[in-house]
Every structure is written in structure tokens, then in C-alpha cells.
């Protein structure tokens, strides 16, 4: 196995090299997020037979920049009922973990801030921290909608972290490494989505949930709790939440494309130069983002108990079964083609299961009538 490094430090000075790379990542991320908001509005508008932003520049391409400027100069309101320090620090606590994830992602061979040999593990560990900021926002805002949103977010994100991590572990078992750069390079001839489609389905579902995207946008449900945990935020702090949301969408897309779609390496390995690799990474991650937006434009929202049932009764079982099957195949050295076949069967079965639930006969919801039977006690 070749040792992959992110090249020699620029100018020969390690700390200057680190600072420069971080600055580039921050700049690219900000730009990407601004254009992701614009892109989402355009894509969703397309699904909804609208035009989307058209007035700010040709085809409204400066809309994102105009929005960002507006948010920067907007008044930053803090409600009286809010817990001051918790409230003010929450946006940063949400944003920092997302940014930390970006530090290890390989955008092309030797392109990134730092290459960690435990990169995949690092991503798991850091992503879990996101919840802290959201819970802080929910509890510190002094608003009941925010509280409901924060608690929903905590329950949802902690639950979905398990299938997410287990599905990625299944891939790591096949790859034999936790180094993201190496995982990408291993897929030079065929991406892991062909070998591990079930893991991909689980990963994608859990990813939607971690990102609070439809149909799992329960913590930010606009028609129920009006934005959830960031309902009380405005101005720059609100935009930090948006930045975190879109940055994590972007980070997850790149992460997913590296782990499942071969990242920079898939069709050509490292034989082609870096602009090609960079282009591949961006195209694949844009594909991810497009599917996420597509799902958002067409799917209604699940209810919190259905969401938790789906995680604990379906996804976790399936992901652990996947882990065991992978372990058996790798231990006994059975052929990878058979493993892929089993995985495809599993993925199709999971999707068919989800589809079949829609055709079930009517069943009265668990709680309907419970309070009615026992007599309602008005407070």
C-alpha cells in the first residue's frame, strides 16, 4: 500500500502552509455555500414550475451574494428570555464541526488541508459534535418552538448517527483502510457503490436525516414549528446556521462521493492531472446535492415517531446485518462478485420494503383515542 501524503509544505514552512490551506478551504466553502443557496433556489424553482431568482444580475446569479450582504448588516436580535451566552455561542458550535470535517476531505490527490490515516474515523467523531450547537440553540432561545426543534434534532441526529457510521464501517471493511485518500484510490477501477449498494442506500438515508433534509426535516419543520431551533435567530447568527447547513450538505456530498463514488479517482485513477480530479470530485458531489434537492422538492415530511421507528426498527438492523455479512465474506475470502450480488439484493429489498409500506391497509395511529377513552383532563 502506497503512503499518501498531501505533498510538501508550501514555501517549506509547515504553519504557513496550514494557514494558507485553511484560508483557501474557508474561501471556497463560503463561495460554494453562497452559490448552493442560489442553486437550490433555482433547482427547486425548476421543479415547481417557477423561475426562481431572476432580478439580481443575469439569471439572478448575484442573488446569493445580495442575500449574504443583507444578512451581514441585519439587526442581530436576542430575545429577553434567551440564555445569553448559550444563545450567542450556539451558531458557532454548530458551524465549527462542519468546518472541521472539511479539513480532511481529499478534493483531489494531495489536495486538502491534512490527510489523516484515520480520516473516516475523524469524520464520524467530529460530525457528532454538531448536535451540541443545535441543542444549545434550542434550549438557549427561550422559545418553545425552538425547544421542540432542538429536542427533535437531538433525538433524530443521535439515532441516525448509528446506521450512518455502521454503513460507512462496512465500506471501510471492504476498503481495508480508514484513510480517505486511500479509499478513493482503491476505487480507481470500480466505485464502492457497485460493491456496497445497500451501504450506499443506508448512508444516503441517514445523510438526509443528519442534514435535516426532506423527508427528515422534522427539526426545522416549517409548517409545524416554524424553523425549529433557529426560529429566534436573525442576521449574522442566523446566517451562521444556514452556512453550517449548506456547508454540511457540501461536506457530506464530497464525503459520500469519496467513499462511495470513487471521489477523484474513479474513472482514471491518479494518471490524469489534478484539474481533472478536482473536476470529478465536484461533479460527483454536485450529483449528490442535486438528488438531495430533488428529494426535498417532492417528498412530504415524516412524523417524529415514524422517523424513529424507521431508524431503530429498520435501518439499524439492516446496517448491522450488512456488517456481519461483510465480515463473513471477508473472513472466508468469498468472491467480491457474490458480495455485490447479496448487497444488491439487500438494497432492492430495503427499497421495496419502504415502497410496500405505502400500500398497507389503514391502521389507526397508536395514540388516537387513547386520551379520548380515558377522558380529557383540561388543565
Q: Return residues touching another protein (CB under 8 A).
A: 44, 47-50, 80-81, 142-145, 147-148, 152, 214-215, 217-218, 221-226, 296-306, 354-355, 357-360, 362-365, 367-372, 376, 378-379
The SS3 assignment for 220 reads helix
Q: Name the minimum Å distance from CB 292 to another protein.
A: 12
Based on CB atoms, which residue is closest to another protein, 140 or 197? 140
C-alpha cell at 367: 395514540
Based on CB atoms, which residue is closest to another protein, 146 or 193? 146
Q: Read off the DSSP letter of residue 314.
A: I
The SS3 assignment for 217 reads coil
Based on CB atoms, which residue is closest to another protein, 237 or 296? 296
Task: For the beta carbon of residue 9, count every other beta carbon within 10 angstroms.
Answer: 14
Q: Name the minimum Å distance from CB 193 to another protein.
A: 23
Q: Name the minimum Å distance from CB 251 to another protein.
A: 22
C-alpha cell at 296: 426535498
User: Which one, of 119, 118, 102, lies nearest residue 24 by Cα?
Assistant: 102
How far, in whole angstroms, is CA 303 from its chain's centroid? 20
Q: What is the rounded end-to-end Cα distance, in angstroms, of the chain?
A: 68
Q: Where are the alpha helices (DSSP H) in 176-302?
A: 180-186, 192-195, 197-210, 222-225, 235-260, 274-298
Q: Name the minimum Å distance from CB 5 to another protein.
A: 44
Distance, CA of 127 to CA of 131 (rounded, Å): 8
Q: Name the minimum Å distance from CB 170 to another protein.
A: 25
Based on CB atoms, which residue is closest to another protein, 110 or 224? 224
Based on CB atoms, which residue is closest to another protein, 94 or 143? 143
Based on CB atoms, which residue is closest to another protein, 297 or 330? 297
For Cα atoms 249, 254, 256, give the angle at the middle one, nearest 5 degrees: 90
Amino acid at each position: 500500500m502506497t503512503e499518501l501524503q498531501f505533498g510538501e509544505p508550501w514555501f517549506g514552512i509547515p504553519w504557513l502552509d496550514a494557514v494558507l490551506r485553511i484560508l483557501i478551504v474557508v474561501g471556497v466553502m463560503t463561495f460554494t455555500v453562497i452559490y448552493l443557496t442560489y442553486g437550490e433556489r433555482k433547482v427547486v424553482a425548476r421543479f415547481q414550475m417557477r423561475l426562481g431568482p431572476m432580478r439580481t444580475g443575469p439569471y439572478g446569479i448575484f442573488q446569493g451574494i445580495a442575500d449574504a450582504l443583507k444578512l451581514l448588516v441585519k439587526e442581530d436580535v436576542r430575545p429577553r428570555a434567551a440564555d445569553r451566552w448559550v444563545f450567542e455561542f450556539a451558531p458557532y458550535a454548530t458551524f465549527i464541526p462542519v468546518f472541521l470535517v472539511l479539513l480532511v476531505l481529499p478534493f483531489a490527490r494531495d489536495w486538502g488541508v491534512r490527510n489523516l490515516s484515520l480520516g473516516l474515523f475523524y469524520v464520524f467523531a467530529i460530525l457528532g459534535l454538531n448536535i451540541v450547537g443545535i441543542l444549545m440553540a434550542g434550549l438557549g432561545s427561550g422559545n418553545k418552538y425552538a425547544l421542540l426543534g432542538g429536542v427533535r434534532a437531538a433525538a433524530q441526529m443521535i439515532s441516525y448517527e448509528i446506521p450512518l457510521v455502521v454503513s460507512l464501517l462496512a465500506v471501510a471493511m471492504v476498503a481495508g483502510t480508514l484513510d480517505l485518500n486511500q479509499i478513493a484510490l482503491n476505487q480507481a477501477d470500480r466505485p464502492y457503490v457497485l460493491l456496497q449498494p445497500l451501504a450506499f442506500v443506508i448512508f444516503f438515508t441517514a445523510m438526509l436525516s443528519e442534514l435535516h433534509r426532506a423527508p427528515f426535516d422534522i427539526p426545522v419543520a416549517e409548517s409545524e414549528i416554524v424553523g425549529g431551533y433557529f426560529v429566534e435567530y436573525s442576521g449574522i447568527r442566523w446566517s451562521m446556521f444556514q452556512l453550517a447547513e449548506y456547508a454540511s450538505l457540501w461536506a457530506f456530498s464530497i464525503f459520500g462521493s469519496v467513499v462511495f463514488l470513487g471521489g477523484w479517482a474513479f474513472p482514471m485513477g491518479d494518471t490524469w492531472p489534478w484539474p481533472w480530479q478536482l473536476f470529478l470530485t465536484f461533479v460527483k458531489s454536485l450529483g449528490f446535492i442535486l438528488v438531495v434537492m430533488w428529494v426535498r422538492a417532492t417528498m412530504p415530511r415524516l412524523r417524529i415517531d415514524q422517523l424513529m421507528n424507521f431508524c431503530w426498527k429498520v435501518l439499524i438492523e439492516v446496517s448491522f446485518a450488512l456488517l456481519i455479512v461483510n465480515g463473513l465474506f471477508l473472513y472466508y475470502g468469498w468472491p467480491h462478485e457474490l458480495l455485490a450480488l447479496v448487497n444488491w439484493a439487500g438494497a432492492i429489498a430495503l427499497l421495496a420494503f419502504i415502497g410496500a409500506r405505502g400500500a398497507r391497509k389503514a391502521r389507526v395511529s397508536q395514540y388516537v383515542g387513547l386520551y379520548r377513552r380515558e377522558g380529557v383532563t383540561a388543565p
